[in-house]
Amino acid sequence: MALGTIRARMRARSALLTGVSIAAALTAAPAWAQDTQPAPAGKAPAEAAAPEVAQETQQEDQIIVTAIRETIQSSIQSKRDSDAIVDSVSSKEIGELPGQSVGEVIATITGASIDRANYGPTEVSIRGLGSGLSMTTLNKREATNGSGDRAVNFGQFPSELFNAIKIYKTQQADLIEGGVAGLIELETRKPLDYKRRNIQAEIKGNYNPYQDRISGKSPYGYRATISYIDQFNAGDLGKIGISIGYQRNDVSDPVERFYTSSTWFTCNAAVVSTTNCTEVTRQQGNSGTPYYHASNSYLYRQMTTSDLRNAVFGAVQWQPSPTIDVNLDLQYSRRQYSEARNDFGTAEGRYNLRNVVIGDNHQMLSADGSATLQVLSGLFQRDEKYLGFGGNIEWKPTDRLTVSADYGYSHTKRLDITRTVRLRTDPLDIYGVRTAINNQRIPYHVDFTQSFLPVFTYDARFNPADYTAFSDDTQLTRSQDGRDDEIHSARLDASYKLDGFIERIDIGGRWAKRGFFGYSNDLIIQQADLAVDRAVNLACRTPFPERNFLGDAPSPSIGSYATFDALCQFRNYLGKEDPGNTGDLRSVDNSDVTEETWAGYAMATYSGHIGGLAVRGNFGVRGVHTQVTAEGLRSGLDVINNNDGSISLRANGTFTPTRVTSGSMRWLPSVNAIFDLSPKSRIRTGIYRAMSRPAPSALGAGRNITLEVGNGFTSVTDAINSIIATGSPRLKPVMSWNADLAYEYYANKDTLFAATAYYKRFTGGKIPITTDENFTIGGQDYAVPVTQTTNSKDKSDLYGVEFTASNRFSWLPHPLDGLGVKLSYNYAWSNYKTQDIRYGDIIDSATGDVIPGLIPAAGLSGYSKHVFSAQAFYEIGPISLQGIYRYRSRYYQSFTSDNTQLRYVEGNNTFDVNMSYKINKQADIRFQALNIFNEPRVEYMPVVGSTRNVEYYGPQYFLSFRVRLR
């Protein structure tokens, strides 16, 4: 099946669902028309509508609204009451937010889209802009994660922990800075505000069809949650509220994957090489020399996973008097995740390429080649702990003055350990007998045209499932990667009420100190004893674990190949399963970043009339000073000759510390205005300046040295392919001026129509720059160009519109009046440019000139032109049904560090279903199905069409029983 046909079918499916959703929304038009009656004679429309609203409120207050409808009503009311352009999802009841995780809940909010992995949403984009341009707060505090960026790992928080999630689309002075795209505010429940006792328990069973394909593994998992919330009258001590909860999540998240190395090369198509392809220069490529992009390696990966998470969350609220409110909250989460990996593929993706067919985007469409093939047996283990707590005290000494103080602490510690054993092909098998091909390099043909999953056809004399063929270049690697992210923060705020047009003045200050440390440590052990290889090969073979591997992909897959037990191999080669790290965690590519922030603001909230039109809002300014200190290491390097004839570089143990400091001061004015056209309609405007800081890991001072694949180099400088900075400490925040204009119409509690147009003007984009640095390698000094990222002087624009429509079909006869729908769509256009670190435009530090690149620039990270979601629900008696469809067009996604090549994620459609049956007031049963379409994740690098990663997760199903006692 042709790739174009596949994509056309995907678009058709998306269009069909979109059409159905829009048709449903249009059907609701009579409801809106019904609520908007002509004004009686002699009355203005606003005056005539007011009694109707009051009557509607009296009638609807008599109805107990629960589940999906209640959540949508609460969200509409929250939007209506806000002083800025805000979209939200909220619920009065615990555990009613519509999602398995916090990320899935956020994805139901207008303009928000999620980036999925096998274990759920990994990051959130707002208005098509990536997580690097948004800010997320937990109880109005920053939260850490283990990835090295500023996004929140939503998977570590149970959705039951929150009762409201807001997205501020426009900024105001009292919000924490960092949200060019917007600010996501997560709010945990305050126990006194809940006003009643609640004991709740839920057990949720999980079935994963992909796990069912794996031999000897159970496809079932579970998630258990219990929570308790209560209030007490302590007499003279006042009122005390407590809440505590615990959740255990034990599921599997299998993945069927094809991937390449993260380093791509641009090959000179005019030179046919019998070794690695000849790299084309910028000058050659821009002068008309034909070229194409090729990766170092292409691999299949079969994976068996285990995912265990324990979480504890609690809060205490104390009101010793009507004027004092004290709140304490705590969140703890520990996630233990593992992957048993079995990889197979080409180790030399650029070797002896012939008959190359090149696409319009310089991607390789097909080629003949010969390469060393390899199997990799591995065990990846992640242990991630999160601890967050904080305290807030609010005091009202007078009716007009309110003073509050807050302290917060957030800490994430992530430890990744990967043990991998590599075996490669050779002219001889494990018994010393020559193979039919009599060469370590196996001829093959690769075809990228059938679909996003390439098809590899190997020489018929080679069998990938032949264990004896993998007998050479044995290498055991034990990698240890650590991330430690910690934030201390404190803030002091005061609010004073006034009479007149200015209703309130708010002032405040905030201090925060963030420390990020990241390191990588690799222990590499090579051995060349054929007798030992043979004994381990025979002892540690395993049957291919999975049936129908990548069978859901649109093009043929390899099916199966030779696999081994990694821990068995470690035991037999080394006598132990874990040899430990090298004993010295110092490295030239470590990141050690400290960021200190001081911020202050003043904001006025106003309300009055202008020309007979009611208007309210706020205006203010926020000043932010940021100081960054990045510490790194420089070291002399020894040249190590490997058994296969290649070389490697290793630090000689003598390290010299280096420190880079950088600071910035930014002023962020903002104005928000809301004009009430009638009791049901209003216009909102916002003009503001915003900033988004680089990820902490992108501010490191480390260096990453990449060597050419192969051997036979005449000098060390020939062997060094590139030295790229692991971070750029002098990077400044991305700044933007922003303007929003929104119209909102509230027909009733269930009905909303909103349209927003917005504009962003960016400064401080990013572009690579090269500078020469001196390195002592093998006792000699070398000047080597080092590439890192700097801020560009270019300005860029983003234009966008977003629409929201929500309605319950209350005008239909029973039982159809239980139907409802919510639609949201966002369109954005931008000319922002992000350059590829290797082949994009680059600044010559000596001259300041921009040297044109070979790869087109990408846009903003996370930027999708189109983001659409549709929710349809039906509630009748004790039954609730909900379907959620999400679409997101293709987008560029940066890695955690900016100093990487461009990566694009193909657009995707997902469809989830939620069903519930309320047995009585205390108990209900729920069913949930995720990713029903079995949508894969497809990535390209460094240009669209050049496949870098394909992942299939399969659908997942959940069935739960919940009981609550009051």
Q: How do residues 345-358 score in pLDDT, each as one tens digit?
A: 999 999 999 999 99
Q: Across all residues in the chain, what is the average pLDDT?
A: 86
Judged against a pLDDT cut of 60, whether residue 316 lies above it is answered with yes
Give whole-number Cα distances, 357 to 306, 354, 367, in Å: 41, 9, 6
Cα 66-68-71 angle, rounded to 5 deg: 80
pLDDT band at 25 (very low <50, low <70, confident <90, very high): very low
Query: Which residue(s) pair with 66 in the sheet?
Result: none
> Residues 959, 205: contact at Cβ < 8 Å?
yes
Q: What is the mean pLDDT of residues 552-579?
A: 95
Buried b (16+ CB within 10 A) or exposed e, 235-250: eeebbbbbbbbbbebb
867: part of which helix (H) or strand (E)?
strand 866-876
Please tell me the distance from the alpha carbon of residue 584 to that of residue 577, in angstroms, as a whole number: 20
pLDDT band at 10 (very low <50, low <70, confident <90, very high): very low
Tokens matching residue 236: 């003279």
Q: Which residue has the tokens 């977003």?
A: 802
For position 862, what pLDDT does the model report?
84
For position 51, what pLDDT does the model report?
38
622 exposure class (CB count in 10 Å sphere: 0-12, 13-18, 19+): buried
> Residues 105, 97: contact at Cβ < 8 Å?
yes
Q: Which of 22-31, 126-135, 283-292 has the highest mean pLDDT?
A: 283-292
How many C-beta atoms lie closer than 10 Å to residue 301's C-beta?
21
Pairing of strands 751-763, 703-707: unpaired
Please tell me the distance from the alpha carbon of residue 222 to that of residue 304, in angstroms, as a whole number: 17
Domain chopping of the chain, boundaries? 3-965
* Residue 541 CA, distance from chain mean position: 37
Identify the architecture of domain 3-965 in CATH: Beta Barrel (2.40)
Q: What is the mean pLDDT of residues 124-151?
A: 85
Buried b (16+ CB within 10 A) or exposed e, 7-35: eeebeeebeebbeebbebbeebeebbeeb
What lies within 8 Å, CB to CB, of 570 at 6+ separation is 419, 421, 476, 576, 577, 578, 579
Please tell me the distance from the alpha carbon of residue 449 to that of residue 444, in angstroms, as a whole number: 16
For position 320, what pLDDT does the model report?
96
Among 852, 957, 960, smallest CA distance to 912 is for: 957
For position 100, what pLDDT does the model report?
65
Judged against a pLDDT cut of 60, whether residue 780 lies above it is answered with yes
Q: How do residues 213-243 score in pLDDT, each as one tens digit?
A: 998 889 999 999 999 999 999 999 999 999 9
* Residue 635 CA, distance from chain mean position: 34
For position 925, what pLDDT does the model report?
96
For position 81, what pLDDT does the model report?
82
For position 189, what pLDDT does the model report?
84
Omega before 942 within 30 of 0, i.e. cis: yes
Q: What is the mean pLDDT of residues 103-124?
A: 73
For position 643, what pLDDT does the model report?
67
The pair phi, psi for residue 2, each rounded to 5°, is -70, 150
For position 56, what pLDDT does the model report?
38
* 387: three-class secondary structure by DSSP: strand
The angle that helices 566-574 and 530-539 make with each other, rounded to 10 degrees, is: 140
pLDDT band at 727 (very low <50, low <70, confident <90, very high): confident
Cα 533-538-539 angle, rounded to 5 deg: 100
pLDDT band at 33 (very low <50, low <70, confident <90, very high): very low
Judged against a pLDDT cut of 90, whether residue 651 lies above it is answered with no
Residues in the chain: 966
Please tell me the distance from the alpha carbon of residue 31 to that of residue 811, in angstroms, as a whole number: 6
How many C-beta atoms lie closer than 10 Å to residue 81's C-beta?
8
For position 779, what pLDDT does the model report?
74
Judged against a pLDDT cut of 80, whether residue 562 lies above it is answered with yes
pLDDT band at 156 (very low <50, low <70, confident <90, very high): confident
Q: What is the mean pLDDT of residues 495-511?
A: 97
Cα 786-789-794 angle, rounded to 5 deg: 135
* 525: three-class secondary structure by DSSP: strand
Judged against a pLDDT cut of 70, whether residue 547 lies above it is answered with yes
Q: What is the mean pLDDT of residues 572-594?
A: 92
- In a 13 Å sphere around the CA of 373, the CA atoms on its Cβ side amount to 29
Q: What is the mean pLDDT of residues 718-744?
A: 81
Q: How do residues 585-618 score in pLDDT, each as one tens digit?
A: 888 888 899 999 999 999 999 999 988 899 999 9
Please tell me the distance from the alpha carbon of residue 602 to that of residue 494, in angstroms, as a whole number: 10
- In a 13 Å sphere around the CA of 192, the CA atoms on its Cβ side amount to 17
* 932: three-class secondary structure by DSSP: coil
For position 3, what pLDDT does the model report?
47
R_g over Cα of the chain: 30
Tokens matching residue 139: 């109880």
Q: What is the DSSP string of 783-837?
A: EEEEEEEEE---EEEEEEEEEEEEEE-TTSPTTGGGEEEEEEEEEEEE---B--T
Q: What is the mean pLDDT of residues 69-83?
A: 80
Q: How do residues 825-874 score in pLDDT, each as one tens digit?
A: 999 999 988 888 888 888 877 777 888 999 999 988 888 999 999 999 99
For position 895, what pLDDT does the model report?
76
Tokens matching residue 290: 């034909």
For position 496, what pLDDT does the model report?
98
Please tell me the distance from the alpha carbon of residue 289 to that of residue 952, in angstroms, as a whole number: 37
Q: Which residue has the tokens 């060393």?
A: 372
Query: Which residue(s) pair with 96 in the sheet?
Result: none
For position 715, what pLDDT does the model report?
60
How many C-beta atoms lie closer than 10 Å to residue 214's C-beta?
21
pLDDT band at 12 (very low <50, low <70, confident <90, very high): very low
Largest CA distance in the chain: 103
**pTM of full prediction above 0.75:** yes
Contacts of 876-881 with C-beta under 8 Å, sequence gap 24+, read: 876/815, 876/818, 878/917, 878/918, 878/919, 878/924, 879/915, 879/916, 879/917, 879/918, 880/67, 880/68, 880/914, 880/915, 880/916, 880/917, 880/918, 881/913, 881/914, 881/915
